[in-house]
Every structure is written in structure tokens, then in C-alpha cells.
Chain A
Amino acid sequence: MERALEHDLIVSIGDNILSPLGIGTEETYHAVNAGYSALQQYEGLWGIPEPFIASLLDHKAIARMLDDKFPTKSFAAYTSFERMAILSAAYALEQAAVDPASKRVVFFLSTTKGNVGLLDKENSYREEISLGYSARQICGFFRNPNAPVVVTNACTSGSCAQIAAMRALQSGRCDTAVVIGADVQSKFIVSGFQSFKALSSDPCRPFDKSRSGLNLGEAAATIVYSRRRPKDVHADDWVLCRGAIRNDANHISGPSRTGEGSYLALQAVLQDDCPIDRLAFVNTHGTATPYNDEMEAIAIDRAGLLSVPVNGLKGYFGHTMGAAGVLESILSMQAAANHTIPGTRGYSECGVSRPLQLSASHRVTGQRSFVKLLSGFGGCNAALLFRQGDELC
């Protein structure tokens, strides 16, 4: 007879961040801790008329690392996007000591635009442009026999993919879920955000009075999730306790003035079993666009979280789109495990209407639970609640 799974917990058993600040979670975390930022100005790149600020990966270095790691394999048939996803997943799987070829493992890919840059060469439909093809390339590399799932929910994709993985594990459809978030930048994406007047001409300043927009970034990040009986969860394991996705039902490209969807998502994940004084912080989307940050401030206030420390990480590596939810969740786990609330780089003076507990410098915390927030076009909002094992007893 099958064991009831509803009381099992979803635990992270391996992770990796591949960012311009570091190859690996530790290296990226140490760079953030030291206050570094990968944001820099680019002029004339990809034939884009206006200069822009972004955090970009060294794709040649990634190709070399793949060749070193897998000397018998050829990566000629893979795009930069697929290569970085493969390298990130390979490190995370190694840490988790999971055989990705098992039929009990399912891959979840979070991305917004995948290989869209290939349209620059030829603007016509072919298989390799589709997100499904990329996902098949990535999980095919690991000889995984299952069809991958691509979650593409704009900027909330990385959190939504973790929620999809959590549900698949809870229902018993798989025993291990590999959640990869990745996006590369291109003329397509940068010109689009420029047309929206959403990009800042300086390094972004989340929640600051003088904030004027976001910076884009490239990264790949992976979390490997597994299902554990409560008695088998260790004190230092990170548990994805709950996740919720809610819509503003308001506008396809503008955040809600009442923070509706973000507030509803927060309300759904914060239940009586996690009093708010146990939260180390709320890690916001914090893009540094005037409207996003104000909307999040309203949602945080409405959810009764004005006493909880708040931060945003985009000042270190920009808005990494499909990678953001995965990358920022991992970095927050790493920080909270080190009793640290990462500072909001670029923040100096409060520029939102609610008195949030913000700080440019790192703070110390004794709590080991946190909330990850994201919002995106299409009016979608997502909240995740993470807690470390011994917080659950």
C-alpha cells in the first residue's frame, strides 16, 4: 500500500548559482556578502543603439568549464542558454548525489525567453527556438527519461517552478525534482525593456527615493528538491513549506495599486504555524522600478509585515528574469543559515509610502524562516515560505 504523502516535507538537497559574481552558491554568496555588484555599463553591444547597464555572464568561460567537467562530451549542439543551465544543474545534482537518469526524477525549467536571441539569425519558427526543445536538450543531456516541464510565468517563473515541483513531489509523481531557472540577455529583451522605459541608466536602487528602473541580468540557478518524512528532516535542512500564486486581475503590464495579488499570495503562505516574529526577512522582487517597489510596500503593509526586515537583491546581479526566483531563494537560504539579512545594495533613503524595515548594509538575524516574493507581467505574483528544519518542531 502506498504511504500517505501529505505530511511529508519538501527539502532542498542540493543547489547551485551560476552568476557573474561567482561559480557556485558559496562564491556568489561571498561576493554579495563583500558588497560586490556585477552591474556594469555596455555600449554598442548587440547593435543596441542606447547604452545599458546589465550583469552579464562570461559564456566562453562557461563553455570551458563544461569541457573540463565533461571531457568526453561535445557541447557544440547546445546554445549558451542550454549550456549554463546544464552546468548549474550538474553542480547541484552532484551536491545532491542524485542520479538524474532515474525515472523518479523530473526536471522543471523556469525561463521567460530561452533561446529567443536565435531570432536575430533567422526570424522563422524552428524547433530549437521553443522552450520545450531547450528543456528536452537539458534533461536529455542528463539522460533523464521523463518529459520536462517548462514554467513560463514572466518574472515569477522561478517561484512558480518551485511550486510546481513541490506539488509533483507531494502527489508522489516523482521522488526528486530538479528546478532550473535560467535566462540569457539579448537585443530582443534589452530593447523591449528599453521601450517600456523600465531600465535605469545607473545601477538600480531598490526602494530608494531616487530609483528610476531596473537592470537586467544573466544567471542560471538550480535547486534539487526531495520529499522527506518529518522525522527524517535535519535541523539545518531547508524546507519549502508553502507556495502561492495569485493574480492582480488589474493590468497586464502595470502592478496593482493595492498590491492585491502580492498581498493575497503573502496571506496564503503565512499561516498560524509561522508567526511573523519568526521571519528573518521578506526577500522582495525589488526591481527598483517606481511602481513595482511601491506595490510591494503596500502588499507587505497589508499583510502586517511592517515589523519584519525587508531586502532586495537586484543591486548585486540585476533582474535575472526566469532565474530570479531560484537564485534569490538559494541566496536567501544561504544568508539566513549564516544569520545574515543581506543588505539592499543601492538603497539609501526610503522612497515608498510605507515604512519598510530596509537597510543598505547587512544585518544579523537569529531567525531561520523567510518569505520570497516575486511579481511579473500578466499580473502574476508568487510567494514562497522557507523554513529551516529545526524551526518546524
Chain B
Amino acid sequence: MLTIAKRVRLTPAGASLNGVRIRTGQTDTNGSLLTSIYREQVGDYPKFFKMDPLCKLGFLASEILLRDEPERFVPRHDRAVVLFNRSGSFASDSLYQHTIADAANYYPSPAVFVYTLPNIVTGEIAIRNKYYGETSFYVLDGAPAGRIAAIVSDLFSDPEVRSALCGWVEYPDDAHFDAALFLVERDGNSGMVWNEETITLLMNE
């Protein structure tokens, strides 16, 4: 049986870990909420500033989710990172499009283009945590909870997978971002069973 060991939610309204709100001081008056959270919760990973908004969101949510893990950053092969959303990498697609739309102002940049792939966020999390297991990204239309439940459950048919960092990470624009990430374990004892009902409930919390 699969269970949810931990969960995190991060939206423009703030962040919560296992349903408990995390205080954010918004000390960085010039920056966004995500930059403030980075300074308060992480602070020592300057690669954060190179990331596009979708990666920043997924990265920060994963940092909050994993911060109390024992033996973090020890290379591991048994944890998958599987994320889902609706609008893919639209925020970066749109940004990149601006750099090529006008012949007189044409400056395509690899640093922007690379983020026009939504799975980059799974790679950023794998690099940060030294996860050599599966990383996958899915785009789902309509109500996603049933398919998220099924795809993550099916993933555990890979015998090397013992746990999965998975869930929803959506950043269509600065006002509407939403991350709902879960740490799902094989044979866990949290009592919170990984299924469509639980995911629906937690995503609408």
C-alpha cells in the first residue's frame, strides 16, 4: 500500500507543510513571495535565481517538503520525481516567444529556451537532491486527481522505486501559481492512503 508521508502546498496565499501554515515574513520587499521564501527557507542555492518561475515554484515546494529529511543530499536511486500540470511551460514559452517575435529585436537565448520544457523542474529537483531515479512530467487536462493517483501508483511497479516526490506544479502566471507536492512511500505508516479521494481533498484544501 502507498501512503503520503508528507505534503506541501505553495500558492500566492503562502505555504503550508502537512496542513500547517509556514510563516513567511516577506522581508524582501522588492522581491516576490517565492524569493522571500527562498531567503527564509533555503538561502544557500544561488542556482535558484537562474530558474524560471515553474522551476522556482517546484524547487521551493520540494525544499520545504524535504527539509527535515535525515541524510539529505546523499545520492539515492530509489526515489522518483514525477510532476504534473495543465499549462506545461507556458510562462517560459511566452517569455521566449518575445525574444524571437520581432526581426529587429531578435535575441533567442539558451538560458530562456531550456526552460521551455516543463520537465526541467524534475531535473532541478534531482540535481539538488542527487536523485538518480526516474524523473517524469505529465500534462493533464480536466480533473487530474484520478490520473495522478494511477500514474504514481503504476510507477511503483519499478522494483527500484521505494518513494516518490510527486504532485501538481502549475505556474501559468505570477497571480495563479499552485504547487501541491507529496512524498509518497511504499509501506509507509502515515495512515494517509495514496488514492484519488485523498489527492482531491488535499489539492482543494
Contact = CB atoms under 8 A, between A and B. Distances in A.
A380 B125 CA distance: 12
Interface string B115-153: 011111011101101111111111111100001001101
A142 interface: no
B48 interface: no
Contacts of B12: none
Interface stretch (A212-220, A243-251, A287-295): A243-251
A125 B93 CA distance: 10
Contact of A264 (B106, B132, B137): B132
Contacts of B131: 247, 249
A138 to B, nearest CB: 12
A119 interface: yes
Interface of A: 47, 49, 112-113, 116, 119-120, 123-125, 129-133, 135-136, 147-154, 160, 164, 167-168, 170-171, 173, 187-188, 191-196, 244-253, 260-261, 264, 268, 376-380
Given A119-B94, A125-B173, 9 more contacts: A49-B106, A131-B88, A150-B139, A152-B137, A152-B138, A160-B136, A247-B134, A380-B119, A380-B136
Interface stretch (B19-27, B96-104, B195-203): B96-104
Indicate the member of B97, B129, B134, B155 with the most A CB atoms within 10 Å. Answer: B134
Contacts of A261: 132
Nearest to B144: A147
Given A152-B88, A160-B136, A196 B113 contact: yes
Indicate the member of B101, B116, B117, B154 with the most A CB atoms within 10 Å. Answer: B117
A245 B136 contact: yes
A129 B157 CA distance: 33
B117 A149 contact: no
A195 B138 contact: no
Chain B at the A interface: SS class: mixed
The 10 closest A-B pairs by CB, nearest first: A132-B141, A378-B123, A192-B113, A167-B154, A195-B108, A150-B139, A247-B126, A245-B134, A119-B97, A378-B119
Indicate the member of A119, A125, A195 with the most B CB atoms within 10 Å. Answer: A195
18 contacts: A113-B116, A119-B94, A123-B94, A123-B101, A130-B139, A164-B151, A167-B154, A167-B155, A167-B157, A168-B150, A171-B157, A246-B132, A247-B81, A247-B122, A247-B126, A247-B131, A268-B158, A379-B123
Interface string B38-58: 000000000000000000000
Contacts of A244: 134, 158
A244 B109 CA distance: 32
B87 interface: yes
Contacts of B154: 164, 167-168, 170-171, 173
Given A170-B157, A171-B153, A131 B139 contact: yes
Contacts of A150: 138-141
A147 B141 contact: yes
B172 interface: yes
A192 B116 contact: yes
A151 B97 contact: no
Contact of A149 (B132, B151, B155, B160): B151
B110 interface: yes
A244 B87 CA distance: 26
A331 B132 CA distance: 29
Contact of A152 (B127, B139, B142, B160): B139
Contacts of B157: 167, 170-171
B127 A153 contact: no
Given A132-B139, A247-B134, A195 B126 contact: no
Contacts of B151: 149, 164, 167
B177 interface: no
Given A136-B141, A247-B133, A249-B75, A124 B119 contact: no
A147 B114 contact: no
Nearest to B132: A249
Interface in B148-172: 150-151, 153-155, 157-158, 160, 172
Given A132-B140, A147-B142, A246-B133, A171 B150 contact: yes
Contacts of A125: 87, 90, 94, 172-173
B72 interface: no
Contacts of A120: 97, 101
A152 B84 CA distance: 10
Nearest to B159: A268
Contacts of B138: 149-152, 164
